[in-house]
Structure formats: C-alpha cells, structure tokens
C-alpha cells in the first residue's frame, strides 16, 4: 500500500495535527535517548582509561563488541518492525539499551563492561531506523523529509545532552554516575511510552479489518520476501544506501567513540574533550535540519552528495591544522562543529532518503539492512580508531577519504527524493 493511502488512515487513528506532532515528538525522544546512551562510553573513555589503566586497543575491542550487538539489533528490529509492529520493535530496543546502560555503572571488570556494551548495542541498533520508519508513517507527505530528519538528528541532540552531562558529572562524581543517570532517565521514559505510544498507521494498514492504536487484533497480510530489495531498480538504491551508511557511520562513530580520547592525547582538558564532541553534535543538529529544508527545495540527489563533499573538505582542513590547546583550541572546536554541520548532517538526512526509497512492506527491513551496513562501518571504526587516534593528521585524512566514498555512494542511489514544487509532491513509493 502506498503511503498516500496510509495518510488517509491517520484521522481514523486519532490523526489530528496535534496528535501526530505529539507522537512524532515521543518517537524522536527515543532517538535522543539512543544518542545519549550510545555516546556514554566514548565520553567516559578518558576517565576510564586512567582509572582502570586500560590500553586503547582494549577499549577498541569493547567498542567493536558493541557494534556487533548493534548489527544484530538492527536486523532483528527490521524483522520485528515489519512482522509484529514498529511500536514493539521500538519499545524493546529502548528498554534493552536503557537497562544495559544502567547496569554498566556497576561494571567491575573489563568483561562486564564488554558484555554490557554488546547488550546495549542490541537495543541501540534498531532504534534510529525503526523510529525513522514510524515517523514517516505518522507524517504527511509534504513534511515527511523534514520530520524524519528531525527524528534522526535527535541522535546528535542526545550527544549534546550527553556532553553537557559529562562536563558536569565526570569531574565531580566520576564515570559511573554518567551511566546511572542515563540509564534511569531511559527506563523512566520507557514506562511513559508503554502507556502513550500508539502503533504506526502504516503498519496497521497492512492488517485486515480494524485494530486499535496500541494492539493488533487481526491477522497480517503475508510479508513480501526481503530478496525484493535486491531486484530491479530497488537493488541500486539498496546497495547505494548501504554503502553510504557504512561510510557515514564509520565517521560518526569514529567521532563519538574516539574524538574525546584523541583530544585528550593532544593535551586538551577533560572538560574540553567533552566539549569537542558537543560542538560536533551541535553542528550535526543544525546541519541536518538545514539539509532537510534543502531536500524539500533541491531534492536529495543534489543535497546529500554536496554535504558529503563539503565534509571531506572540512576533514582536509582539520588534518592540515596545527593543533594546540591554546590559542588554536577555539579553531579546533569550530572545525569540529563544521564537520558536524556537513558530514554528520548528511548521515542524519540519509534516513529520510531510506524512508522514501523503500516501499512500505519492505521499509523496516530495508532500513534495517542500511543500519546493519552502518554497524559494519562502526565496527571497523572501533578497531581502526585505536591506532588512528594517536595521530591528528592521519585521523582526519582517513575521515576525508571516507567522506569521498560517502559522496560517491549517494550519487549511486537511484530512488532519490525529488524537490517539491512545480506541481510535484513528495511521497513514498508504494
């Protein structure tokens, strides 16, 4: 069923503008928490390395286990989302990573930390893609790209919140309180979602008969095979989006997990290592919303490759910058903000492209496949970061090359979002 038909179901599901806005904000809040919990270990890393005397290679292995968990969670959430509902997939993911993050504050050994990071990864993996699919199905066609991008960019908002928490908590209370605070906040929100979050009307549209907003009472139509993602014109979009996600998540998680440690190695204070990641996230938030507006005007075929190309240029400039805490420290922060404004923003807007390119019955699995490719890129970043983090120039030179690959991947996608206007309306493929 085309999403236009789904739009007509919204009033029957309480689909007033205020109702839909409230639901989108609830879903977006889960992505904020995903971004918050996802960045906890990276923010805590400088303090943890000192307290436990860990080598960077050990920390890289822990990050890698987390990304393996995220790959599993991403694929599982896609299957659950298409078969049992977006709401179920979202709630399971948020509850799991919230509980694992809370438990991480009690970790006493490296193996405890690694196991809990892997469990948190299973929960974290499926949330952004599931949330993007769900927001797309609660939003009218005109504002869908902006709404989906806003939802996904909440990962960066979560990072901003996490950076602020780390700045306040780490010097006074230590790294354990960082995990406890984030975990409690996440689990408290899960209880709210259990009561208030409805099922996606796009998912309900696949069911025969009527179902209420939170439960399904009738049998589902058979799912089309996932192999359709690799047939005909859809194959080019599937492969292009998967490669774009792989390269994009390499950059994102290199910054999330290793930027604070890299800045610490360059002589920045614990406060400034957190602020560097915060500025990257601030730039990513602003840039993603700008990208969504540009997609409405220009389409995604122009906007996303252009942002990736600009991100590569910023990486080159950062690699050439002689880094000192003073007086160059402020220039470094500006550079990190610009990197977020371009490179990070392009990856957030990519989810809107995925929600457009994949048809309704394949959407959660298509975005799950994208997400799994992204987790592979994140896994590689976890292993590569342990040696790249030692050199400023090499760190950003590699990221620049990755963003060029990201730009090429965007250009390869066939099913780009067209610009609005001139009698054309944006809609999802049915």
Instruction: End-to-end CA distance of the chain: give it in Å, rounded.
Output: 5
The answer to whether residue 221 sits within a structural domain is no
Instruction: Return the SS3 of 52.
Output: helix
pTM of the model: 0.68
Rounded CA-CA distance 344/128 in Å is 14
232, 239 Cβ separation under 8 angstroms: no
| pLDDT of 360 higher than 50 | yes
> Would you call 394 helix, strand, or coil by DSSP?
helix
pLDDT at 222: 66
Question: Is 216 a domain residue?
Answer: no
Instruction: Give Cβ neighbours of residue 295 (< 8 Å, ≥ 6 apart).
Output: 145, 149, 303, 304, 349, 352, 417, 419
- Summarised one tens digit per residue, pLDDT across range 20-52 is 888 888 898 898 888 888 878 878 888 887 888
Question: Does some domain include residue 426?
Answer: no
pLDDT for 324 equals 55
- CA pair distance 149, 136, nearest whole angstrom: 10
Q: Which of 184, 185, 216, 183 is nearest to 199 (CA)?
A: 216
Number of domains the chain is built from: 1
Q: Is residue 82, in this structure, part of any structural domain at all?
A: yes
In total, the chain counts a number of residues equal to 430
**141: exposed, middle or buried (Cβ count in 10 Å: 0-12, 13-18, 19+):** middle
In this prediction, residues 396-401 reach a mean pLDDT of 92
Supply the range of the domain harboring residue 285.
3-210+230-412
Residue 195 has pLDDT above 80, yes or no: yes
Task: Give whichever of 65-79, 130-144, 219-233, 306-320 has the largest mean pLDDT.
Answer: 306-320
Over the stretch 111-147, which tens digit does the pLDDT of each residue have? Answer: 888 899 999 989 888 888 788 888 887 877 677 777 8
Residue 61 belongs to a domain with what CATH number? 1.20.1250.20
Domain membership flag for residue 310: yes
Neighbouring residues of 429: CB distance < 8 A, sequence distance ≥ 6:
2, 356, 357, 358, 359, 415
Residue 271 pLDDT greater than 90, yes or no: no
- Between the ranges 4-8, 84-88, 284-288, 306-310, where is the mean pLDDT highest? 306-310
pLDDT tens-place string over residues 284-307: 888 888 888 888 888 888 999 999
Distance, in Å, from the CA atom of 329 to the CA atom of 184, rounded to the nearest integer, reads: 34
Task: Look at residue 430 and tell me if it is in a domain.
Answer: no
Counting DSSP H helices and E strands in the chain, the numbers are: 17, 0
Instruction: Tell me what pLDDT residue 186 has.
Output: 92
pLDDT at 258 over 90: no
In a domain, 340, yes or no: yes
Predicted pLDDT of residue 326? 55
- Which pLDDT belongs to residue 213? 42
| pLDDT of amino acid 331 | 84
Helices 232-265 and 329-339: crossing angle in degrees, nearest 10, is: 170
pLDDT at 339: 92
- pLDDT digit string (tens) for 236-255? 888 999 999 999 989 988 88
Q: What was the pLDDT predicted at 406?
A: 94
Query: Does the pLDDT value for residue 400 go beyond 90?
Result: yes
78 pLDDT tier (thresholds 50, 70, 90): confident
Residue 4 confidence (pLDDT) above 50: no
Residue 418, in any domain of the structure: no
CB atoms within 10 A of CB 204: 23
pLDDT at 216: 40
d(CA 64, CA 99): 20
């Amino acid at each position: 069923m085309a999403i236009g038909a789904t739009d007509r179901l919204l009033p029957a599901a309480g689909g007033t503008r205020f109702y839909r806005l409230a639901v989108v904000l609830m879903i977006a809040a889960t992505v904020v928490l995903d971004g918050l919990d996802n960045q906890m270990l990276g923010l805590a890393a400088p303090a943890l390395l000192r307290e436990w005397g860990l080598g960077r290679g050990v920390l890289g292995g822990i990050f890698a286990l987390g990304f393996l968990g995220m790959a599993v969670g991403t694929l599982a959430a896609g299957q659950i989302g298409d078969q049992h509902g977006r709401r179920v997939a979202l709630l399971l993911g948020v509850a799991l990573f919230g509980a694992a993050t809370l438990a991480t504050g009690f970790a006493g050994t490296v193996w405890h930390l690694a196991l809990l990071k892997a469990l948190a990864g299973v929960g974290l993996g499926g949330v952004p893609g599931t949330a993007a699919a769900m927001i797309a199905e609660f939003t009218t066609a005109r504002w869908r790209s902006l709404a989906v991008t806003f939802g996904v960019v909440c990962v960066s908002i979560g990072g901003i919140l996490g950076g602020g928490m780390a700045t306040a908590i780490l010097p006074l209370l230590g790294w354990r309180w960082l995990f406890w605070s984030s975990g409690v906040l996440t689990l408290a929100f899960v209880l709210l979602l259990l009561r208030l979050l409805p099922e996606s009307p796009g998912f309900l549209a696949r069911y025969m008969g009527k179902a209420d907003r939170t439960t399904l009472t009738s049998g589902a139509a058979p799912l089309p095979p996932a192999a359709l993602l690799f047939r005909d014109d859809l194959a080019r979009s599937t492969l292009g989006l998967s490669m774009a996600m792989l390269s994009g998540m390499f950059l994102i998680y290199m910054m999330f997990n290793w930027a604070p440690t890299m800045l610490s190695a360059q002589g920045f204070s614990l406060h400034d290592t957190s602020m560097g990641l915060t500025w990257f996230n601030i730039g990513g938030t602003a840039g993603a919303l700008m990208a969504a507006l540009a997609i409405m005007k220009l389409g995604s075929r122009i906007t996303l490759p252009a942002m990736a190309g600009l991100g590569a240029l910023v990486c080159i400039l950062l690699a050439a910058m002689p880094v000192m805490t003073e007086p160059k420290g402020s220039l470094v922060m500006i550079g990190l903000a610009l990197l977020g404004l371009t490179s990070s923003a392009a990856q957030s807007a990519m989810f809107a492209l995925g929600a457009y390119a994949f048809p309704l019955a394949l959407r959660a699995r298509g975005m799950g496949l994208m997400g799994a490719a992204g987790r592979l890129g994140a896994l590689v970043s976890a292993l590569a970061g342990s040696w790249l983090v030692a050199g400023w120039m090499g760190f950003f030179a590699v990221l620049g090359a990755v963003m060029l690959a990201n730009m090429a991947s965007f250009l390869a996608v066939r099913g780009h979002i067209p610009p609005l206007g001139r009698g054309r309306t944006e809609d999802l493929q049915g």
